[in-house]
Amino acid sequence: MLNMDSKDQYRQEEKFTGNDPDLSGGKKEETASEQHARFTDKKNKFKRNITGLVILAICLASLTTYSVIHKEPEVKDIKVQQEKISATVKDRSLVYPFIVPFEHTAEYTYILVEVTFDVPDKKLYGEMTEKQNRIREAIYDILLNEVERTKAIPSPAEIKKHIYMEVNALLKNGNIKDVFVTKFIAV
Q: Tens of pLDDT along 159-174?
A: 999 999 999 999 888 8
Return the domain boundaries, the chain: 36-68, 92-186
Q: Is the pLDDT of residue 73 over 50?
A: yes
Decide if 113 contacts 100 (C-beta within 8 A): yes
Question: What is each CA distance from 20 to 16, 26, 27, 105, 177, in whole angstroms?
Answer: 6, 15, 16, 113, 121
Q: Which one of 29-33, 51-55, 83-87, 150-154 scores highest in mean pLDDT?
A: 51-55
- Residue range 174-184, pLDDT digits in tens: 888 888 888 88
